[in-house]
């Protein structure tokens, strides 16, 4: 898609679709007033008849718009002006764009929403719009004959000065949107398409032209690195494990380094603790943490941020072959801790344990890991909220702030030491699970044993990283949650 900024009035842009936003029970904004005048008061009459209420996500379409240069006008409700957040605005505009991005080679005009400009400033508004359009017109039909959505050939953002800062904001939004779409795509690919080797190769291909140094650790290299926990998870699969390490050094030798660690279980059968069919059908998405890390590192590199970031992606299949690891097995992780297995379906934490220990040995200054780790977190927080767990409150505050600035719902969970009591083993240093109570917290307390003194935040994205059914605002499948937050975190804190 070609994005452009123009000072031209929205009434004068020649496009197939013009999209404008309207707040609920509020006066028309200046841009809407101009549209209303050009349309001979049509919008005012619709408002009087309560056909144009401005309720969040409400869509009103004028299929023929005499008085405008645009062929059609879509007005999307933004909800009450005093309650508008970046997240709610993204939902509204996603609903609008998805509604009309159903044909090839269309052009789109966007009336710059004054409410966003007033609240956030022009650059943030432009970043938001270009990001939202990029994501919303990308469908999930990887394996379907007929696509449900198509990118626009041209997108014009109206009534905005095309200065250097605004152009950079649009470019940034497109890069973020593309990173989210890459993460979504990887999560949506079926498990015979994306497995450890193919994920690793895709990561290498994507990083090749961006000044990112990369290394792919094969099975023998993982053995040399004493990654006993990760290797055990992979034993039941015919497809060998991989670990991808991508290093972007934009900050120079003296700058601190942020480590991003992603769980990449490309398919999770549960192992010998076998899942049901209903529990297994979405398990192609169990690598969403690794896909999120990849998307974020690539975006950081494309934006040429002056930071140092390393992405670590532990990639395995958890299968039930004859060599599968067993309940009662005792594994030795990279940092020397022994782990008694009480459930082979609690495998993601084993992959992360070795990857986190590797990152600590790599001497990163701060850590964030992302994983579709526990159903317990979904039970606690629902499908739309990321759970955050940390050993360092100032660092956790930074992560929370970055997520909220990007409209990502997140909530910090407690990390009381008594939860670690559930992980004590009679036969090893620890077990890989505790009781059913506080399962998301005991999983985080397990991971805490592998980060040492490094400031660390664990993000459990099991709920919001994948949705099972489509809605007006988004497709079923991968969501790309936390990609934007990680980019913001790198930019704001290092």
Q: Which residues are catalytic?
A: 275, 349
Q: Which long-range contacts (CB under 8 A, 24 or more apart) does 40-49 make?
A: 40/67, 43/75
Task: Report the alpha-carbon distance of residue 44 to residue 57 in Å, rounded.
Answer: 19
Instruction: Report the DSSP beta bridge partners of residue 217.
Output: 243
Instruction: Return phi, psi of residue 214, to 5°.
Output: -135, 155
The token pair at 101 is: 């991005």
Decide if 32 contacts 183 (C-beta within 8 A): no
Distances (CA, A) of 305 to 128, 167, 302, 311, 348: 19, 17, 8, 15, 30
Pull the structure tokens for residue 69: 């240069």
220: left (phi over 0), alpha (psi -120 to 50) or beta: alpha
SS3 state at 230: helix
Structural Rg of the chain based on CA atoms: 24
Q: Cite the beta strand spans of 131-251 per DSSP E.
A: 154-158, 213-217, 242-249
Q: Do residues 350 and 236 make contact, with C-beta atoms less than 8 angstroms apart?
A: no
Half-sphere exposure of 416 (CA within 13 A, CB side): 5
Q: Is 9 helix (H, G, I), strand (E, B) or coil?
A: coil
Sign of torsion over alpha carbons 351, 352, 353, 357 = positive
Q: Within 10 Å of residue 338's Cβ, how many Cβ atoms? A: 15
């Amino acid at each position: 898609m070609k994005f452009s900024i123009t000072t031209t009035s929205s009434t004068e842009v020649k496009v197939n679709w013009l999209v404008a936003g309207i707040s609920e029970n509020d006066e028309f904004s200046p841009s809407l007033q101009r549209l209303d005048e050009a349309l001979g008061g049509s919008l005012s009459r619709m408002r009087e008849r309560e056909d144009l209420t401005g309720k969040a996500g409400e869509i009103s379409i004028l299929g023929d718009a005499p008085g405008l240069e645009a062929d059609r006008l879509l007005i999307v409700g933004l909800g009450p002006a005093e309650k508008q957040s970046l997240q709610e605005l993204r939902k509204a505009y996603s609903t609008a764009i998805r509604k009309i991005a159903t044909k090839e080679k269309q052009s789109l005009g966007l009336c710059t929403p004054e409410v966003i400009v007033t609240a956030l400033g022009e650059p943030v508004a432009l970043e938001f719009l270009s990001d939202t359009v990029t994501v919303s017109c990308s469908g999930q039909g990887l394996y379907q004959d007929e696509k449900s959505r198509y990118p626009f050939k041209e997108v014009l953002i109206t009534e905005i000065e095309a200065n250097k800062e605004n152009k950079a904001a649009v470019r940034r939004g497109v890069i973020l949107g593309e990173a989210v779409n890459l993460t979504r795509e990887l999560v949506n690919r079926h498990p015979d398409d994306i497995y450890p080797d193919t994920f690793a190769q895709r990561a290498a291909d994507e990083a090749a032209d961006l000044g990112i140094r990369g290394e792919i650790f094969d099975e023998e290299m993982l053995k040399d690195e004493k990654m006993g926990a990760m290797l055990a998870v992979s034993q039941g699969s015919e497809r060998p494990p991989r670990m991808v390490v991508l290093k972007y050094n934009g900050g120079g030798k003296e700058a601190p380094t942020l480590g991003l660690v992603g769980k990449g279980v490309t398919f999770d059968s549960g192992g010998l603790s076998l899942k049901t069919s209903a529990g297994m059908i979405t398990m192609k998405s169990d690598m969403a943490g690794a896909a999120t890390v990849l998307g974020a590192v690539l975006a950081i590199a494309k934006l040429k941020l002056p930071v140092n970031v390393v992405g670590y992606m532990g990639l395995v299949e958890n299968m039930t072959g004859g060599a599968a690891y067993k309940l009662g097995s005792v594994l030795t992780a990279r940092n020397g801790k022994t782990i008694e297995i009480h459930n082979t379906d609690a495998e993601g934490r084993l992959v992360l344990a070795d990857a986190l220990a590797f990152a600590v040995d790599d001497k990163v200054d701060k850590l964030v890991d992302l994983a579709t780790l526990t159903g317990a977190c979904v039970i606690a927080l629902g499908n739309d909220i990321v759970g955050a767990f940390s050993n360092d409150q100032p660092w956790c505050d930074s992560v929370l702030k970055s997520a909220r600035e990007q409209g990502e719902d997140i909530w910090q969970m407690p990390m009381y030491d008594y939860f670690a009591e559930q992980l004590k083993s009679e036969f090893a240093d620890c077990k890989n699970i505790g009781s059913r109570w506080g399962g998301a917290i005991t999983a985080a307390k397990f991971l805490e044993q592998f980060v040492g003194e490094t400031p660390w935040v664990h993000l459990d994205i099991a709920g919001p990283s994948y949705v099972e059914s489509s809605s007006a605002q988004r497709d079923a499948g991968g969501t790309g949650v936390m990609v934007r937050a990680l980019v913001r975190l790198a930019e704001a804190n290092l």
